[in-house]
Structure 1
């Protein structure tokens, strides 16, 4: 009887020893596979990092004017207007610029007036169409069919809505500037208006609009072509401007009692 009990005890002890041995083997196998997986994952991450990090680091180090992240074409709207300003289609861009130049020559060099030009143009168009309609009956041809010209309501409403949005944004900016909460923005707006007034005294409105139109046809194109060189120069210029502004801030702006103005307008 004692022998049977001892045998059963030894058998249980052997079974427990085998189960612990099997569990330890399973744990070792699981740890090995987990280690292999983690090593492979780490290796894949290292390979991705080594393959992509130089490009990403170069992209991070590249300076763009005004913090620009999108291409110049997207900044200009990405539509037909951007294609014209960047000379994607040289014939269309040259035609638009030539037409604007012709208008400027008429009004500035020839000193044509807008109302006179419109009336003379309508006289020529109406006279030509009238003669064409009457001449058709003499040469036994059918009279020309003139298309009905009308402005679509949706286009007019879209243009009016766009103007309304821009005007409201401008009024909101002016209100924010006049509230006295941001001295930097106030000085920037005053400087911009002062520069615009100087330009207005040098040129009339049409010449100023034409100059801006010509700049839109030249500056974005040249910047898009020599982007890296311009950005490198702009980075140095911005660093110098920040340095000079820091000196101006310490000597002048920091001594202005802005707190009193904020309390007054609050």
Structure 2
């Protein structure tokens, strides 16, 4: 009996010690998990920061035709003219394109002349207003009041100033091309003028202007719709053109003798 009591007393004495050890081990495990979680979260944060700061994670610069960085709407100048060309207002765009088409049909297909058309329009308008004014006592409806028409000065001056700036810019560009400083611009200008001469021989100026206006109403809208695909093909085309130009420059253009530049001092 004495031995059993001693055994029970020793068991009771060891139980609190075992519980303390188990609690300590449990606390250690919890602290390790917390520490491990904080380390993993901090490491994941560091990795996210590295990925965000790494240049590979940044959005690669997408190739755009002619080095364009702005949207097509901004390239066309923005505002109402760009809205018309981009069909933002479909009724207005359809009206403008229909008016241009009517003018082309009258002058090109019907072979109307500008002076004849203006005279016929004025005859019709003046005759209608004159007859309406004299017949107002019979129909009991007065004709519309004819407004006073004045050409404003400011828009005309702005248009003239804009044309002057563009013409001077074109003259400066032609002067730089003709000076022989940039062979690439020279070849591009020759090719462009040659294409225009061929188009001018195929159709007159009115038809060429009408084709340009129709292209202005269609190409920007289609390009904005299929922008990524067109830019991808354009990038491939530009790479191939640069390769061909490099071959041409190495075999032909580099062998053409050039005169001394103006900035170079003569011996």
The alignment's TM-score, normalised by the length of structure 1, stands at 0.76
In structure 2, do the counterparts of structure 1 residues 161 and 265 end up closer, same or farther at CA, with 3 Å as the change threshold?
farther
Alignment of 1:31-180 (within 5 A): 47=48, 50-51=51-52, 57-60=58-61, 62-142=62-142, 144-180=144-180
What is the alpha-carbon distance in structure 2 between the residues aligned to residue 181 and residue 53 of structure 1?
A: 41
What is the alpha-carbon distance in structure 2 between the residues aligned to residue 136 and residue 181 of structure 1?
A: 73
Give yes or no for the alignment of 1:248 onto 2:229.
no
1:232 aligned partner: 232
Q: Is contact 1:137-1:143 (8 Å) kept?
A: no
Point out the more displaced range, 132-141 or 173-182: 132-141
In structure 2, do the counterparts of structure 1 residues 135 and 51 end up closer, same or farther at CA, with 3 Å as the change threshold?
farther
**Which string of whole-angstrom CA distances, capped at 9 and with x for unpartnered residues, describes residues 3-50 of structure 1?**
xxxxxxxxxxxxxxxxxxxxxxxxxxxxxxxxxxxxx9xx98975664
| Aligned-residue offset at 1:228 | 0.4
Q: Is contact 2:200-2:208 (8 Å) kept?
A: yes
Q: Is contact 1:133-1:144 (8 Å) kept?
A: no
| Aligned-residue offset at 1:237 | 0.6
Q: Is contact 2:51-2:57 (8 Å) kept?
A: no
User: Counterpart of 1:168 in 2: which secondary structure?
Assistant: helix
**Which string of whole-angstrom CA distances, capped at 9 and with x for unpartnered residues, describes residues 123-168 of structure 1?**
1111111112222244455564211001111111111111111111
What is the alpha-carbon distance in structure 2 between the residues aligned to residue 71 and residue 56 of structure 1?
A: 24
Give yes or no for the alignment of 1:212 onto 2:230.
no
- Runs of 4+ aligned structure 1 residues displaced above 6 Å come to 43-46, 52-56
Q: Is contact 1:179-1:265 (8 Å) kept?
A: no
User: Counterpart of 2:151 in 1: which secondary structure?
Assistant: coil
In structure 2, do the counterparts of structure 1 residues 78 and 144 end up closer, same or farther at CA, with 3 Å as the change threshold?
closer
Task: State the superposition RMSD in angstroms.
Answer: 2.6
What is the alpha-carbon distance in structure 1 between the residues aligned to residue 242 and residue 225 of structure 2?
A: 27
What is the alpha-carbon distance in structure 2 between the residues aligned to residue 264 and residue 133 of structure 1?
A: 75
In structure 2, do the counterparts of structure 1 residues 210 and 48 end up closer, same or farther at CA, with 3 Å as the change threshold?
farther
What is the alpha-carbon distance in structure 1 between the residues aligned to residue 55 and residue 142 of structure 2?
A: 72
Q: Give aligned pairs, total.
A: 224
Point out the more displaced range, 135-144 or 83-92: 135-144
In structure 2, do the counterparts of structure 1 residues 265 and 159 end up closer, same or farther at CA, with 3 Å as the change threshold?
farther
In structure 2, do the counterparts of structure 1 residues 100 and 54 end up closer, same or farther at CA, with 3 Å as the change threshold?
farther
**Which string of whole-angstrom CA distances, capped at 9 and with x for unpartnered residues, describes residues 87-112 of structure 1?**
11212111111111111111111111
